[in-house]
């Protein structure tokens, strides 16, 4: 009976992990309001050699009519080292795509010019990284392959992405452990140094009090 329960538990665990690994991820766009004369930045933690694509569009406040001339923004995408990957001024829509050269936080900033009276610009922004950044429909059309092959290639890339992410997390964990050990060592040295200073000051105080009492002929 126990063996049967254990076997069912292992099967359920395998099915659960498989569902997590192979369930297709849905990446929805984000919509936010940007007041005129203000700035808003969005960060994304991306590892090295990852493909990333982004698309931004100003939402027309009145459908069916041309977008007002005052509705434009400036956009800049920078790397963790401060290098520009994308920069556009007075834009109402745009896209960017690149392969990351460093691991870290990539920053996308939006600026809206100041107007009086002020108003808000509604922006729709979509940012995809890794597997989600690949357009598999274009791959299918260009490669002229069947849907099964495309699905297998997509699943292979997803498993590879999960594998790389696991190694990336292990590296980050190793860095954090190294930082913790270094911090503990520095704290131990600082504590020892503080104790030595306290003992030294206490010894000086004792010597001073002893000399003081001798001068006063108390001792």
Percent of the chain topping pLDDT 90: 31
Query: pLDDT tens, 72-115?
Result: 899 999 999 999 999 999 899 999 988 899 989 999 999 999 88
Burial 190-215 (b: 16+ CB within 10 A, else e): eeeeeeeeeeeeeeeeeeeeeeeeee
User: Hey, which residues does 57 pair with through a beta bridge?
Assistant: 93, 124
Name the residue with higher pLDDT: 217 or 5.
217
Query: pLDDT tens, 106-154?
Result: 999 999 998 888 889 999 999 988 777 666 555 445 444 455 555 666 6
pLDDT of residue 88: 93
Distance separating alpha carbons of residues 47 and 44, to the nearest angstrom: 10
Query: pLDDT tens, 28-70?
Result: 578 999 998 999 999 999 888 888 889 999 998 888 788 888 8
DSSP state of 117: S
pLDDT of residue 162: 82
CB 109 within 8 Å of CB 76: yes
pLDDT of residue 78: 95
> What domains lie within the chain, and their CATH numbers?
29-133 (2.60.120.680)
Question: Which pairs from 153-157 meet CB under 8 Å and 24+ separation?
Answer: 155/22, 157/131
pLDDT at 4 over 50: no
Strand (E) or helix (H) holding 35: strand 30-35
Among 182, 38, 42, smallest CA distance to 120 is for 38
């Amino acid at each position: 009976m126990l063996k049967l329960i254990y076997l069912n538990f292992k099967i359920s665990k395998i099915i659960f992990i498989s569902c997590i690994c192979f369930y297709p991820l849905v990446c929805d766009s984000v919509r936010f309001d940007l007041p005129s004369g203000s700035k808003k930045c969005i960060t994304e933690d991306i590892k090295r050699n990852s493909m990333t694509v982004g698309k931004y569009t100003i939402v027309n406040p009145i459908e069916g009519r041309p977008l007002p001339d005052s509705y434009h923004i400036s956009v800049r995408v920078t790397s963790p080292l401060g290098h520009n990957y994308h920069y556009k001024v007075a834009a109402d829509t745009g896209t960017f795509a690149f392969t990351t050269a460093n691991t870290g936080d990539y920053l996308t900033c939006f600026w809206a010019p100041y107007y009086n009276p002020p108003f808000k610009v509604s922006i729709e922004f979509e940012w995809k990284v890794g597997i989600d950044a690949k357009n598999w429909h274009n791959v299918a059309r260009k490669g002229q392959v069947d849907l099964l092959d495309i699905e297998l290639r997509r699943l292979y890339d997803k498993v590879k992405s999960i594998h790389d992410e696991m190694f990336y997390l292990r590296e980050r964990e190793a860095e954090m452990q190294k930082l913790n050990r270094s911090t503990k060592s520095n704290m131990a040295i600082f504590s020892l140094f503080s104790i030595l200073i306290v003992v030294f000051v206490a010894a000086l105080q004792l010597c001073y009090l002893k000399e003081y009492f001798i001068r006063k002929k108390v001792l």
